[in-house]
Amino acid sequence: MARREAPAGGPGSRALIVDVIRSAETISRVELAEKTGLTQPSISNIVRDLIADGIIHETGSVGSVRGKPRTLLAINPADHFGIGFELGPDAVTCVAIDLTGGVVGREVVPLAATGLTDQLAARFDDFTAGLDLPRHRVEGLAVVAPTARPGRPGAFGDGEAIGDKLRGRLGIPVLVENDAAAAALGEFWSRRVSRDQSFGCVYLSTGIGAGMVFGGALFRGASFDAGELGHLSIQYDGRPCPCGNQGCVERYASMTAAVDAARAHPGLAARLRLDGSVSAAYDTIARAAVSGDEDAFAVIEEAASYLSVAVTSMVNLLDLSRIVLTGPGVAVAGSIYARRLRAHLARTAHARGRHEVQVELSAQPRNAAAIGAAALVVQASIAPGHSVSPRH
């Protein structure tokens, strides 16, 4: 994430070319010009600088109708790396990715309630040393947590202050971001989604969040608060929410809501061990649901039905073409949520007659936010100014 000088064509052109190469996997300079609308001289200048920076490389060639083979370009995965830390209630998930979004290292370690900056700085040093990643090849660190936003206190205090302290300690760029927004960018990056797609990601955990990627960049809103799907009201006089609203979908469809419903169910409470943390109890319910327990299935199915109503509203409002479900809430019973959402969209999505809305499950739902954090670093590195607030 070391800020490089933008070549001819500006940072927007550089971001555009990187995104097209990323989603295409391999592509020629001629095809780049066709897809981006940039002139051949601009393409040549930007590609030359990207190769010099180690971001892309030439890989093989393909035949041409004019007889002269075209050299193919691809992202160079092994030259630079991004590090992402996801802060959980009592542990931190650490992930390192290469420039294609491929995971090159992961670990989960306990996290004490005090001395957060010292712990994260020490963890960064130990994690990168264990992977034998030289500091000059690490583009930066992103720390994500529930409710964290640039310039706004989150679940672990003032994120901007933590970022400043870590920057001073580590001597590298440090970003702070919301977990759902990070997960959206991670899914977009690692799936090689085209920047032409309107892409959304729903993050199901003890709360519910969402992230949207338009034109290759996260949509953040006026105060970096976009994506609060959990506080979309699905019942105007429904259950009160701490946010001040009523009927928020988070009160009906989150992991917390499902656990509350199961604990209030006499049969389930008697059969299943639902004490302990919300996460542990939810996983117990989800495993029972996919194993054929009718009562557990009913609890998850109801939560999935409520979530489908909210997600369909998001799809209708933004005309999304692709949705990924991720987060710990879909790690075990994701198929139930995906099936219910697909059925609801097929019946009620406003644009269903014009285009299909793809619904997919994350391949790594428990690690999606940490992977996305590392993707924030990678994207900010190779496409300066494209995805990250200038304050960072």
Please name the residues in contact with 159: beta carbons below 8 A apart, sequence gap of 6 or more: 143, 145, 148, 149, 150, 151, 152, 153, 176
Q: Mean per-residue pLDDT for 38-66?
A: 85
Whether the predicted pLDDT of 247 surpasses 90: yes
Element (H, E) at 46: helix 40-52
**Nearest 5°: phi and psi at 357?**
-100, 110
Dihedral (Cα; 188, 104, 368, 54), 10-degree rounding: -30
pLDDT of residue 90: 84
Q: Which domains does the chain have, with CATH numbers?
A: 10-75 (1.10.10.10), 81-184+369-382 (3.30.420.40), 193-363 (3.30.420.40)
CA distances to 16, 216, 219, 390 from 195, rounded to whole Å, are 8, 4, 13, 21
Q: Give the model confidence (pLDDT) of 37-47 as tens digits.
A: 899 999 999 99
Element (H, E) at 95: strand 91-97
Q: When comparing pLDDT for 131 and 18, which is higher?
A: 131
Which among 215, 140, 226, 139 is positioned nearest to 180, based on CA atoms?
A: 226
Q: Give the model confidence (pLDDT) of 116-170 as tens digits.
A: 999 999 999 999 999 999 888 899 999 998 865 554 445 556 667 888 899 999 9
Rounded CA separation 203/362 (Å): 10
pLDDT of residue 6: 39
Q: Mean per-residue pLDDT for 84-109?
A: 92
Q: Mean per-residue pLDDT for 320-331?
A: 96
Rounded CA separation 182/202 (Å): 11
pTM: 0.85
Local confidence band at 235 (pLDDT 50, 70, 90 cut-offs): very high
Q: Give the model confidence (pLDDT) of 63-83 as tens digits.
A: 665 667 889 999 888 778 999
**SS3 of 156-213:** CEEHHHHHHHHHHHHCCCEEEEEHHHHHHHHHHHHCCCCCCCCEEEEEECCCEEEEEE
- What Rg, from alpha-carbon coordinates, does the chain have? 22
Q: Is 182 exposed, middle or buried (0-12, 13-18, 19+ CB in 10 A)?
A: buried
Rounded CA separation 342/348 (Å): 10
Strand order in the sheet with 138-145: 103-110, 91-97, 81-87, 138-145, 174-178
Rounded CA separation 257/249 (Å): 9
- Helix axes of 278-290 and 294-318: crossing angle, nearest 10 degrees: 100
Contact between residue 391 and residue 151 where contact means Cβ atoms under 8 Å apart: yes
Local confidence band at 385 (pLDDT 50, 70, 90 cut-offs): low
